[in-house]
Structure 1
């Protein structure tokens, strides 16, 4: 297997397993550092939005224009971009509300008050959340893998951004599962497994997309990746950042993420 493929798979695995970090934090800290988490989620959104619009979309457009001509390439890029948004939006709609990973949890949610809730309901909520995150992580895995395959620097940036956003999702799985079962091991295991769908997405991409990779398929896939990244940033990361802190911290994090990404890309010109 080529080294760049192994590197892309390793990055995707790292990003996916960040849900385990969220689970670990839920068990070994007494409170959530909401300010830090808010800035981190804003930073992650800034990285994703900037890199999607400045780098990934442009690469997709160049690839499609070279294969289909100016008009066909431009239309195909826009179609792929909004197609990626529609895909992730459709996945979001199919997930039951109680299991939606957008309903983020804090470590403080593991309080005595929550123990009064029915254990079967908590177990169901945690299981649905784990399933929802697994479904969400699948296209994210494809996005990370495809980006790392084309440009390792790009792949690292996306993997780090996705890893940051997977941490609170790990908390969202662990909190209800722990209270339903009383087992930290079970809660951590389910949280950990929900992140494995990300490298699974990368493996599927490698097995089924790599043989057909040309300028057109690469361009459409990259445009779709850009759409997925922007949708996740606007629909998930920024709202979550605001829920953790209602001041300007999420926006400061967003700007910092964009600035860091801009500088890192300029350094490799």
Structure 2
């Protein structure tokens, strides 16, 4: 039973968790120069974050939710269908958004250190905006989960909000870095990072007002699996190719591993 007396603390916890995305964006304020090495590592790091969250947390949690609702075999089937539906959705968005250059055709030639051609800036801007969309979609159901949990039990809500906040900081980096390198405007990069995080409290309030009576395990599982598919597509189709394009293969791979390690540590420690 949800207690209305817990509404203020639930809203506060969800807001803090969401705004932590902006804290990741603040890192760009300390970036002194445009370095393709930094960019390769950061994009690889972001890909690692997305892949680890998608395949070890969201997918398995979706499978558990749908399995408990429909049985293990049918639950796995629905999880896989929702996962690839998420991939199809973001692939459709990718093809609908106009672009003068095909962002999927990457040159093997490295970009000179400290210099980003206009075509690269355009690709990075699209990548940043894609990341805003992906993180906002990802944060929406997270906001629902945090808010509803805090309404039921504030102590549980605090634990969930802390875990979500730790996850959101590197996601803010993922949003801010491409936009920063594309526009060279720190305020715009940080602003977009905070903007993507606002989906968290928005999702919490909407989830409470509209979905609290129907948001069961099966719907939760479908949403989580679809988000996992969306984030996997972004990591493999946009982030990793972009990291490789700047000519620092090993740094981008180290970034992927580092991103996964940070997410793994956050899960173990919380």
TM-score, normalised relative to structure 2: 0.70
In the alignment of these two chains, the number of paired residues is 241
CA shift, 1:78, in A, is: 0.7
The 1-side partners of 2:226 and 2:74 are apart by: 16
Which residue of 137, 141, 145 maps to 1:142?
137
- CA shift, 1:233, in A, is 1.2
Structure 1, 48-57 or 200-209: larger mean CA deviation: 200-209
CA-based RMSD: 3.8
Inter-CA distance 8–204: structure 2 relative to 1 (3 Å threshold): closer
Cα distance in 1, alignment partners of residues 54 and 60 from structure 2: 8
| Native 8 Å contact 2:23 2:169 kept in 1 | no
- TM superposition shift of 1:66: 1.0
Gaps of 5+ in 1: 115-124, 176-186
Q: CA deviation at 1:190?
A: 5.2
Instruction: Identify the residue that residue 225 of structure 2 maps to in structure 1.
Output: 223
Residue in structure 2 matched with residue 8 of structure 1 by the alignment:
14
Instruction: Give deviations 1:214-263, integer Å, cap 9, x for gaps.
Output: 11111111111211221111112212221234331111221232233334
CA spacing shift, 1:172–1:37, aligned 2, 3 Å: closer
Residue equivalent to 1:83: 85
1:169 matched to 2:164: no
On the 8 A contact 1:241/1:250 being kept in 2, the answer is yes
* Residue 171 of structure 1, CA deviation: 2.3
Matched, 1:198 2:204: no
Take 1:57 and 1:106, find their aligned partners in 2: how far apart are those partners?
39
Matched, 1:97 2:99: yes
Distance, in Å, in 1 between the alignment partners of 2:264 and 2:26 is 30
Instruction: State the Cα distance separating 1:77 from its structure 2 match.
Output: 0.6
- Separation of aligned partners in 2, 1:18 and 1:103: 29
| Residues 1:222 and 1:96: Cα distance change in structure 2 (over 3 Å) | same
> Gaps (5+ residues) in structure 2?
1-6, 147-159
CA distance in 2, matches of 1:103, 1:208: 39
Q: Does 1:54 align with 2:56?
A: yes
Distance verdict in 2 for CA 1:103–1:162, change over 3 Å: farther
Alignment-derived partner of residue 158 in structure 1: 167
Correspondence for 1:65 among 64, 67, 84: 67
Compute the displacement of 1:163 (Å). 1.5
Q: Distance in 2 between matches of 1:2 and 1:72?
A: 39
TM-aligned CA deviation for residue 146 of structure 1: 2.7
Is the 2:21–2:194 contact (alpha carbons within 8 Å) kept by the matching residues of 1?
no
Q: 1:111-130 alignment to 2 at 5 Å?
A: none
| Contact 1:101–1:172, Cα closer than 8 Å, also in 2 | no
